[in-house]
Amino acid sequence: MLPMLPALVLCALPLEWTRVSAGIEVRAFVLEQKPEHGDGLLQVVRLDPAVVTFEFALATEHHDLIRTAAEWARERHFTVTINAGMYEKDFRSNVGYLRDGAVLNQKAWKPTYQSVLAFKPKDKGVPAVVLLDRDAPDFEARVRKYDAVVQNLRIIKGPPSVSVWSANKKKWSEALVAQDDEGRLLFAFSRTPYELAELSAKVLALPLGVVRAMHVEGGPEASLSIHGKGVSEDFAGSFETGFFADDSNAHQWPIPNVIGVK
């Protein structure tokens, strides 16, 4: 049974880029004026990897207890927290490969998942964080240079940046991770449900410079928490075709694995 948590009020980030901490900016973009579900907004956090650091927080490393993104943030002192990815029925293992140093949360690479986020570089002279296409010729050489790696479902391939999705009549609230053309990481959240084909087109049309993007969760498990100067928000998804087909979810669900920003 899910714990009783305070009700979530639909909120929005500022409609212009606002600094909440060194290397962390937030902004909301209007995707739709009057959607059937949700608020029609894309909540975006823009992260400068030259300033901030990225960490995994995994239930398997923390007493096997799953937590909401907000609870992970409070416990680990993260300014920003988002899902690390979809998880298996054991409520612990990521669906795609996930390694944090010597810890293997999921040892198997999923053949159909073509997006990989890597951070904690082993050596100097390589980017602090990269979002990679697994089918790129240099993927193996590049990913070996990092100690923290997670594999997820790809939304946008690049460059050139193109959506890999076609219309399929399945829509959900969405949490995604993207990288822009300046190497900054973007954490984004839409409570309003879209098919990924439609959402990816909307994301590419925004002035974000997105090069690549990965899906990290959908439906009521999709989460984004931001706690910095002047901003304290805990966003939760709701709608998911075939699972939770309404907009009634009012709180973040506990999740086993997150990416946190300090």
pLDDT at 118 over 60: yes
* Neighbour tally for 202: CB within 10 Å: 14
pLDDT at 10: 58
pLDDT at 8: 43
pLDDT per position as a tens digit, 179-205: 999 999 999 999 999 999 999 999 999
pLDDT at 2 over 80: no
Q: For the whole model, what pTM was predicted? A: 0.95
Q: How confident is the model at residue 63 (pLDDT cuts 50, 70, 90)?
A: confident
pLDDT at 6 over 50: no
pLDDT at 131: 98
pLDDT per position as a tens digit, 8-61: 445 679 999 999 999 999 999 999 999 999 999 999 999 999 999 999 999 988
* Neighbour tally for 186: CB within 10 Å: 20
pLDDT per position as a tens digit, 134-184: 999 999 999 999 999 999 999 999 999 999 999 999 999 999 999 999 999
Element (H, E) at 198: helix 196-205
Q: 145-162 burial string, b = 16+ CB within 10 Å, else e?
A: ebebbbbbbbbbbbeebe
Q: Beta 98-100 vs 146-157: how paired, if at all?
A: antiparallel
CA-based nearest residue to 130, from 119, 140, 121: 119
- Give the residue extent of every domain in the chain: 18-261
Q: C-alpha distances in angstroms, 92 versus 26, 68, 86, 95, 149?
A: 30, 13, 10, 9, 16
pLDDT at 65: 87
Q: 93-111 burial string, b = 16+ CB within 10 Å, else e?
A: bbbbbbbbeeeebbeeeee
pLDDT per position as a tens digit, 221-235: 999 999 999 999 999
pLDDT at 12: 79
Q: Beta 223-228 vs 162-163: how paired, if at all?
A: unpaired
